[in-house]
């Protein structure tokens, strides 16, 4: 049984574990005030070409989203997200638990645009309604799509003109940056957003998300908020060491590129066999449509999650590749596709 259920089914890339082993008996200052973290932050600042950025390396994505959003908003302010946005659907109301409404726009491709945000601004006009103040986007998105540079630039300009913070969830920023259709760089995110994060959990770290704060207005006292949210890791250097390793050379990009290569192999095999996709297959998350009978057969040997019913007899499923996906597992899945054809023949 091989799992394509997600890109966080294995531990960490061996180089990361090795770095943790080597430094294990060092005595380090707690709470991310250690030299490894300082070094990792410096590496990230160089990578994003923004020496004045504040960087806080946190443990998980929900934590990072909640902190970034709730620390930026006053009590009456709201964040705008695509209806498919992770904060809207899959974080058990963490944003609302901090007091803020998530205003949503329908977005069949998982992306926000000025045109999708404008009606929300138009509807929120006075003190009887929440005040939209931040825009939340994901890249790559929850459905595997990604922003083109022109799209992100347009959104960034729109936000600035309208007094909205732009925050980018980069849980899968590696997959976005290394896909064939990408034309953005890490530095572009620093230039075009107010804050974003660089996801480690889904790209070869044991855990870890590096939150990058560009806008000075969002920086003040941020460590207070980290601590208050229970998000300040006692042995914070464990996060620093992992990001040191990811950005020591190209490891971060290499791991994501591998995930995308595996996805490209899967995608090609699916297209060659006539399968369609619920959403454009751009990164390491693919949503092919199968008949429900085919899904029953595939489930005998592979783990994956259903996405949604396409019609009475067809369903899209989510297949995710990762830094750890092997050629052998892709081969096996392709063979299984061929067996489906035989079975139905």
Residues in 15-74 that interact with its own copies by CB under 8 A:
17, 20-21, 23-30, 59-67, 70-71, 74
Contacts of 235 (CB under 8 A, 6+ apart): 28, 30
Residues of span 310-339 touching its own copies by CB under 8 A:
324
Question: Which of 65, 146 has the CB closer to its own copies?
Answer: 65
> Are residues 110 and 141 in contact, defined by beta-carbon separation less than 8 angstroms?
yes
Site map for its own copies, 237-256, x if CB under 8 A?
A: -x------------------
CB-based burial label for 285 (10 Å; 0-12, 13-18, 19+): buried
Question: Which of 3, 215 has the CB closer to its own copies?
Answer: 3
Question: Which of 1, 345 has the CB closer to its own copies?
Answer: 1
Residues of span 279-308 touching its own copies by CB under 8 A:
303
Among 223, 250, 273, 341, contact with its own copies (rule: CB under 8 A):
223
Residues of span 131-160 touching its own copies by CB under 8 A:
131
DSSP 34-62: SHHHHHHHHHHHHHTT-TT-EEEEES-HH
Q: How far apart are the first and last CA of the chain?
A: 25
CB-based burial label for 194 (10 Å; 0-12, 13-18, 19+): buried
Stretch that binds its own copies, among 11-19, 49-57, 112-120, 290-298 (CB under 8 A): 11-19
Residue 228 touching its own copies (CB under 8 A): yes
d(CA 33, CA 234): 10
Give least dist CB 180 to its own copies, A: 27
d(CA 336, CA 339): 5
CA of residue 213 relative to chain centroid, distance: 16
Tokens representing residue 219 in the block: 């920086």
Size of the site for its own copies (CB under 8 A): 75
Question: Which of 59, 192 has the CB closer to its own copies?
Answer: 59
d(CA 10, CA 153): 35
Residues of span 77-106 touching its own copies by CB under 8 A:
78, 89-94, 96-102
Residues of span 178-207 touching its own copies by CB under 8 A:
201-202, 206-207
């Amino acid at each position: 049984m091989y799992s394509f259920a997600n890109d966080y089914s294995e531990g960490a890339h061996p180089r990361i574990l090795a770095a943790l082993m080597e430094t294990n008996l060092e005595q380090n200052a707690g709470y991310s005030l250690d030299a490894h973290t300082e070094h990792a932050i410096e590496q990230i600042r160089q990578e994003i070409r923004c020496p004045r950025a504040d960087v806080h390396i946190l443990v998980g994505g929900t934590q990072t989203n909640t902190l970034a959003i709730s620390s930026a908003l006053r009590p009456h302010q709201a964040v705008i997200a695509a209806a498919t946005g992770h904060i809207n659907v899959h974080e058990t109301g963490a944003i609302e638990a901090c007091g803020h409404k998530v205003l949503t726009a329908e977005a069949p491709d998982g992306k926000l645009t000025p045109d999708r945000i404008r009606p929300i601004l138009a509807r929120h006009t006075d003190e009887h309604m929440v005040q939209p103040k931040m825009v939340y986007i994901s890249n790559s998105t929850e459905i595997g799509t990604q922003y083109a540079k022109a799209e992100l630039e347009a959104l960034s300009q729109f936000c600035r003109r309208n007094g909205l913070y732009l925050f980018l969830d980069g849980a899968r920023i590696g997959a976005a940056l290394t896909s064939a259709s990408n034309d953005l760089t890490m530095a572009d995110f620093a230039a075009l957003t107010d804050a974003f994060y660089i996801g480690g959990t889904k790209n070869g770290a044991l855990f870890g998300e590096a939150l990058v704060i560009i806008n000075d207005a969002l920086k003040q006292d941020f460590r207070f908020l980290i601590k208050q949210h229970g998000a300040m890791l006692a042995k914070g250097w464990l996060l620093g060491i992992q990001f040191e390793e990811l950005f020591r050379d190209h490891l971060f990009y290499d791991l994501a590129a591998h995930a995308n290569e595996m996805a490209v192999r899967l995608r090609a095999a699916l297209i060659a066999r006539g399968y369609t996709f619920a959403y454009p297959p751009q990164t390491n998350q693919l949503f092919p449509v199968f008949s429900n009978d085919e899904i029953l057969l595939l489930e005998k040997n592979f783990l994956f999650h259903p996405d949604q019913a396409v019609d009475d007899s067809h369903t899209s499923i989510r297949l995710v590749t990762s830094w750890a996906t092997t050629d052998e597992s892709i081969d096996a899945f392709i063979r299984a596709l061929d067996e489906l054809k035989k079975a139905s023949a």
